[in-house]
Amino acid sequence: MIRDPRLAALSLVLAAGLALGGCGTAGDDGAGAPQARFLSIGTAPPGGAFFVVGGALAEVLDANPGAGGWQVTAESTKGTQENIRRLTRGELDFALANAAITYFAVRGAEGWERTHDVKSVMTLAPNVAFFIAPRGAGVETIADLAGRRVVVGPAGAGFEYFIRPILAAHGLTYDDFTPLHATQAAAVGMLGDGSAAAAFLGGAIPTASITQATTSQDIVFLPFAEEARERLLAEYPFFAPVTVPAGTYAGQEADFAALNVGSMQLVTAGGADEELVYQVTKTLYEHRAEVVERHPAGRAINPANAPRETGTPFHPGAERYYREIGIWPGSDDAAAAAGG
């Protein structure tokens, strides 16, 4: 037994030091090697593209942990709006988001309680959407939506952030018709039974819900008025022109001039560690073929699209990587890289 109080205190200090040495410091495995960092990617509810694509990104990152090492999991969420809020609260490391919704979130626009410091990491697959209606229902243009019952997407999904500008460009607001909230699958049924006169549907090309509608019903695609389309493209960077080739859907005899109403994008908090974001961007870009193996949306990780501006500033870590490989828009060799 140690009777001298000073020796007893020294023994306690030595014991504590041995314990710390055996456990390792934070970030160590006890032998001096850094522990894997756990990263989360917010997605959306199961059943949609965000959930599957987010899972694909997480799998590819997890399989390629890099020098520092990380373990990555995809987390099901309610979608873009929840993802943005959780990123800024530090509850997620990365997330998928719709570019149109993010555009308004970073500006603190109507529907957002404040500006949200979110930055883009990578622009992903386009979201090609438009209004459709049963032929013979008396709805052949967007102006014809006035006074009708129209499905405008699931409640809380944030579709209003790109539908409202489209309506405004055509001289309409939500007050001009009865907006109905339903999933895309449910919307097809509502068109079929007459409970809705039109619906706003879309996603990747082809979109399953539009395929279902056109194979089971005689469907009209409501065209974007040319002047309105040009105005949207000029005013909002998240809109982009897209042509749906003839024959994509049953009964579609001609090309359809559609719009990308807000690409899927990978985002992170503005204050995220620059080196981490750089490494994540680099890993996904260099292993993009592995993403494609898991989901076709991985094809959007290409020189022309990945660094494409949609109205949300890129994180410095992502920008550094795109500049380093010469695909940052405006850099001297960006055009050559895009062509290759």
Q: Supply the Cα-derived Rg of the chain in whole angstroms.
A: 25
| 214 token code pair | 């056109």
pLDDT at 12: 38
| 266 token code pair | 């990978």
pLDDT at 46: 84
- Answer yes or no: are the C-beta atoms of 38 and 71 closer than 8 Å: yes
- Answer yes or no: are the C-beta atoms of 203 and 175 closer than 8 Å: no
pLDDT at 84: 97
How does strand 94-98 pair with strand 37-42?
parallel
Cα–Cα distances in angstroms (integers) from residue 252 to residues 197, 210, 244, 248, 334, in the given order = 19, 11, 9, 7, 36
Q: What is the pLDDT of residues 67-110, one digit of tens each?
A: 668 999 999 999 999 999 999 999 999 999 999 999 999 999 98
Walk along the chain (340 residues) and give the pLDDT tens digit of each residue.
444 544 444 343 333 333 333 333 334 444 445 567 899 999 998 878 899 999 999 999 999 997 668 999 999 999 999 999 999 999 999 999 999 999 999 999 988 989 999 999 999 999 999 999 999 999 999 999 999 999 999 888 899 999 999 999 999 999 999 999 999 999 999 999 999 999 999 988 889 899 999 999 999 999 999 999 999 999 999 999 999 999 999 999 999 999 999 999 999 999 999 999 999 999 999 999 999 999 999 999 999 999 999 999 999 999 999 999 999 998 766 655 555 4
Query: Under the phi-then-psi rule, with left for phi > 0, alpha for psi from -120 to 50, and beta for the rest, what region is 171?
Result: left
| 3-state SS, residue 121 | strand
Output phi, psi for 72, to 5 deg. Answer: -120, 135
Question: Whose structure tokens read 């993010």?
Answer: 102
Q: What's the 3-state SS for 221-262?
A: ECCCCHHHHHHHHHHCCCCEEEEECCCCCCCCCCCEEEEECC
Q: What is the pLDDT of residues 281-335, one digit of tens each?
A: 999 999 999 999 999 999 999 999 999 999 999 999 999 999 999 999 987 666 5
- Answer yes or no: are the C-beta atoms of 262 and 127 closer than 8 Å: yes
The span from the CA of 310 to the CA of 263, in Å, is 8
How does strand 37-42 pair with strand 264-269?
unpaired
Q: For the chain, which domains are there?
A: 37-125+263-339 (3.40.190.10), 128-260 (3.40.190.10)
- Identify the helix (H) or strand (E) that includes residue 216: helix 208-216
Interacting residues of 44 by C-beta distance below 8 A, sequence separation 6+: 50, 51, 54, 76, 77, 78, 79, 80, 83, 96
What pTM was computed for the model?
A: 0.84
pLDDT at 321: 98
| 172 token code pair | 């309409």
